[in-house]
Amino acid sequence: MERASMRTAFGALDRFASPAGEARGLPGGGLAHSLVEELFSGSAEQRARAATRIEAVLGLEAVEPLCEALTVETGAEVLAAICASLGRLGAEEAYDFLRPHLAAEEPSVRAAAIEACLRLVRTEPDRSWLVELGLGDASAPVRRRTFLAAAALPGFELLPLALRCRTDGDPHVRRLAYVALASESDPAVARRALEALSDPDEGVRRAVGPLLSRRFGVDGAASASSSSARSQPGSAPETLAKAPDGAGPVVAAAARTTQEPGIPFEEIELVLMTSLRGATLADLVERLDRGEAEVARVVERYLAEGRLVLRGSRLYLP
């Protein structure tokens, strides 16, 4: 595959393959060279994979080839993976390479660039500028990821953002805002989350209801559940699969699988709805009170279906 980036790649490749590179004690050996080569000349899938793996193999030595790749890469998935790796590495010199991608055409790249830059900047004005940029984005997923990234910043004042985002046009952003308010230590502030019980979106009510129930004794969870239990006009009642009479054991087992899907997605969704910082597999096991193997199986399925996303070691709703 001929790509403009291959011309730029030779500098990075030569450095990792040369005796000078070995003399500097660069980690990874031949694997490092293979990953750098893949980062610049592999398929889109290989480049995205290399962008993630090279971080683990080379550590801070990966910053240079990743920044170099960032200047020539055009694939959105690969760009997002490079941004994420540079953010996790925490090298401040990567900021100037990341900044142009804050205005990328693809929302996934803009979101990844904002998340990465927020990990790198140290001053409050820089953080605030990035958060304002993300929350003002036309893409709802960018606004969601910006809010979550801001919530993860140590010492960042989230309250003004939560108050403002209660009126966002995206229900997921409103959910995050109300969860943040309901989690505030000041009861007077937390009571502002009571507005969520009248939100037009059922998902917002379901997410905040249990928090308010525990905090103030408000039966928000019950009202949200009763709302979701109402049948929609013209909708047919759900029926469970039933094995036909005389069906063999394989068919019967398949029918039972349809009736018993394991852990319903709604249970996992509710855990993630009430967590601003996502959840690890261990968090889900604890919150759901299920076995690790069982939770891992359904998480893998929901990831494949696109109903969950994995960032680092944490699971989030899309």
Q: What pLDDT does 218 receive?
A: 64
Mean pLDDT of 103-116: 97
Radius of gyration (C-alpha) of the chain in whole angstroms: 23
Mean pLDDT of 170-176: 94
What is the distance between the alpha carbons of residues 277 and 217, in angstroms, rounded to a whole number? Answer: 25
- Kindly state whether residue 234 falls inside one of the protein's structural domains: no
11 and 82 belong to one structural domain: yes
AA identity, residue 29:
G
- Kindly state whether residue 279 falls inside one of the protein's structural domains: yes
Mean pLDDT of the chain: 79
Q: What pLDDT does 124 receive?
A: 93
- Kindly state whether residue 115 falls inside one of the protein's structural domains: yes
Higher pLDDT, 274 or 81: 81
Q: What pLDDT does 315 receive?
A: 85
pLDDT at 173 over 70: yes
273 and 189 belong to one structural domain: no
Q: What pLDDT does 16 receive?
A: 52
Q: What pLDDT does 272 receive?
A: 80
In the structure, what pLDDT confidence band is assigned to residue 14 with cuts at 50, 70 and 90? low
Higher pLDDT, 19 or 33: 33
Contact 130, 138 (CB under 8 A): no
283 and 212 belong to one structural domain: no
21 and 87 belong to one structural domain: yes
- Kindly state whether residue 94 falls inside one of the protein's structural domains: yes
- Kindly state whether residue 143 falls inside one of the protein's structural domains: no
* CATH number of the domain within which 63 lies: 1.25.10.10
**pLDDT tens-digit readout, 252-289:** 333 333 334 578 887 887 788 767 778 888 888 888 88
What is the distance between the alpha carbons of residues 81 and 167, in angstroms, rounded to a whole number? Answer: 31
- Kindly state whether residue 141 falls inside one of the protein's structural domains: no
Mean pLDDT of 196-203: 92
1 and 113 belong to one structural domain: yes
In the structure, what pLDDT confidence band is assigned to residue 302 with cuts at 50, 70 and 90? confident
- Kindly state whether residue 78 falls inside one of the protein's structural domains: yes
8 and 106 belong to one structural domain: yes
Residue that is last in its domain, among 200, 228, 256: 228
Q: In whole angstroms, how far apart are CA 78 and each of 74, 167, 178, 213?
A: 8, 33, 33, 43
Backbone dihedral region for residue 243 (phi beyond 0: left; psi -120 to 50: alpha; all else: beta): beta
What is the distance between the alpha carbons of residues 222 and 67, in angstroms, rounded to a whole number? Answer: 51
Q: What pLDDT does 305 receive?
A: 74
What is the distance between the alpha carbons of residues 136 and 148, in angstroms, rounded to a whole number? Answer: 14
Task: Write down the number of H helices and E strands in the chain.
Answer: 19, 2
H/E segment holding residue 30: helix 29-41
What is the distance between the alpha carbons of residues 99 and 94, in angstroms, rounded to a whole number? Answer: 9
**CA 53 to mean position of chain CA atoms:** 18
Q: What pLDDT does 230 receive?
A: 39
Comparing CA positions, the residue from 48, 12, 46 lying closest to residue 32 is: 12
271 and 222 belong to one structural domain: no
Comparing CA positions, the residue from 166, 121, 127, 172 lying closest to residue 145 is: 172
Residue that is last in its domain, among 121, 140, 155: 121
Look at the chain and report how many structural domains it folds into. 3
Q: What is the largest CA-CA distance in the chain?
A: 74
Residue that is last in its domain, among 74, 96, 121: 121
Q: Which two tokens stand for residue 62?
A: 């990966």
58 and 116 belong to one structural domain: yes
Contact 284, 295 (CB under 8 A): yes
**CA 288 to mean position of chain CA atoms:** 20
Q: What pLDDT does 5 receive?
A: 41
pLDDT at 87 over 80: yes
In this structure, what DSSP letter does residue 102 have?
G
List of residues 6+ apart from 114 with CB closer than 8 A: 102, 130, 133, 134, 142, 145, 146, 149
Mean pLDDT of 22-32: 57
Mean pLDDT of 278-307: 83
5 and 107 belong to one structural domain: yes
17 and 100 belong to one structural domain: yes
Which residue range forms the structural domain that includes residue 276?
265-316
Max mean pLDDT among 82-86, 201-205, 223-227, 254-258 falls in 82-86
What is the distance between the alpha carbons of residues 194 and 13, in angstroms, rounded to a whole number? Answer: 57
19 and 67 belong to one structural domain: yes
Beta bridge partners of 311: 314
